[in-house]
Amino acid sequence: MAKHTVFDPERDDPFILSRTAIDEFLSCQKCFYFKRRLGLKPPRLIPLTLAIATDAILKNEFDEVRQKGGQSHYVWETHDLNVHTFSHPDMEDWRNNFRGIRYLHEPTNQEITGAIDDVWERLDTGQLHIVDYKSTSKKDDPDIESGWGFGYKRQMEVYQWLFRKNGFDIHETGYFLYINGRKDTAFYDEETGGGTVGRMLFRTTLIPYDGDTGWVDDIIYQCKDTLRSNEIPEGSEGCDSCRYFRERSEIE
Ligand code: SF4
């Protein structure tokens, strides 16, 4: 039987509730319901191929450190962190968007999933830090106190919750390793090999964040209640997309 990602009240196998679905629920219950209960696919977004590429480069970077024993990296030295890369046989599954780390929430019969970027282990206590890579290109140093930052915090907290539910000792501090593309540097130079290969430089910022996972259980129950209901929930106030659809249907 195919995985249960559009909720069907007739099925009794676990419903897959991804970290992304939880975030959709928190952003707008109506959109969550359209997609996860009614199976309506939202318009396709342009894939963030550059962000995917920078994620891959950072994963490779830290995998190389892991293979060498995981003891030292510029980022840890710069920020005075006493950590190394955590090794685990399931690391590749945890990072895979189609698998991720999973936990069956039995009271609601939902399997919660999330795909992480990396895990660092403290050398003093053995506790684990969840690590997420982010990329941007802006003049000022990035932060997580505005805009997408709220979603990033929730993302981190769901990962922390998932790891704890799987029995890992997770430190409350997670890290966002932000890379910020500079627009003020040369692109082609002799080192890049001339006119066929260019180079973008990134400033990097490590942002620690103390997560609070206290809300996660409650939201998992609320997601299930919403999915079970036959009523379409209200949309988010002030959503630009809903305004567009409403004004368009008024014209039509
Ligand atoms: S309010 Fe926005 S997010 Fe919610 S249903 Fe409408 S379009 Fe979707």
Per the structure, the count of domains in the chain is: 2
Are 33 and 58 found together in one domain?
no
> Residue 219 sits in which domain range?
1-45+214-252
Contacts 24+ apart (CB under 8 A), 56-60: 58/117, 58/118, 58/133, 58/177, 58/179, 59/95, 59/117, 59/118, 59/133
In a domain, 159, yes or no: yes
Are 177 and 53 found together in one domain?
yes
Q: For residue 71, is pLDDT > 90?
A: no
Are 176 and 251 found together in one domain?
no
Are 235 and 172 found together in one domain?
no
In a domain, 134, yes or no: yes
Atom of ligand 1 nearest to the CA of 241: 7
Are 41 and 54 found together in one domain?
no
d(CA 85, CA 73) in angstroms, rounded, equals: 10
Which single residue is written with the structure tokens 């790891």? 163
Are 134 and 225 found together in one domain?
no
Name, in order, each residue with C-beta under 8 angstroms of 211's C-beta and a sequence gap of 6 or more: 130, 153, 156, 157, 160, 172, 173, 174
In a domain, 32, yes or no: yes
Are 156 and 134 found together in one domain?
yes
Q: For residue 153, is pLDDT > 90?
A: yes
In a domain, 101, yes or no: no
Are 40 and 5 found together in one domain?
yes
**Is any atom of ligand 1 closer than 6 Å to the C-beta of 30?**
yes
In a domain, 137, yes or no: yes
Q: Work out the average pLDDT over 173-179.
A: 97
In a domain, 110, yes or no: no
The residue ranges of DSSP E strands in the chain, in sequence order, are 15-18, 83-85, 101-105, 110-114, 118-122, 128-136, 173-181, 202-210
Q: At what angle do helices 19-27 and 149-165 cross, to 10 degrees?
A: 140
3-state helix, strand, coil in the chain (%, to 5): 35, 20, 45
Are 138 and 207 found together in one domain?
yes
240 CA from centroid of ligand 1 (Å): 8
**Is any atom of ligand 1 closer than 6 Å to the C-beta of 70?**
no
Q: Work out the average pLDDT over 172-181.
A: 97
d(CA 114, CA 100) in angstroms, rounded, equals: 5
Are 150 and 178 found together in one domain?
yes
pLDDT 10s digits, 196-226: 899 999 999 999 999 999 999 999 999 999 9
Under 8 Å between Cβ of 204 and 177: yes
Under 8 Å between Cβ of 190 and 155: no
pTM above 0.85, yes or no: yes
Are 179 and 140 found together in one domain?
yes
249 CA from centroid of ligand 1 (Å): 15
In a domain, 16, yes or no: yes
129 CA from centroid of ligand 1 (Å): 34
Q: Could you give the C-alpha distances from 38 to 35, 110, 219, 230, 240, in angstroms and in order?
A: 6, 17, 20, 10, 22
In a domain, 103, yes or no: no
Q: For residue 78, is pLDDT > 80?
A: yes
**Is any atom of ligand 1 closer than 6 Å to the C-beta of 241?**
yes
Are 40 and 54 found together in one domain?
no
207 CA from centroid of ligand 1 (Å): 30
245 CA from centroid of ligand 1 (Å): 9
Q: For residue 239, is pLDDT > 90?
A: no
**Is any atom of ligand 1 closer than 6 Å to the C-beta of 31?**
yes
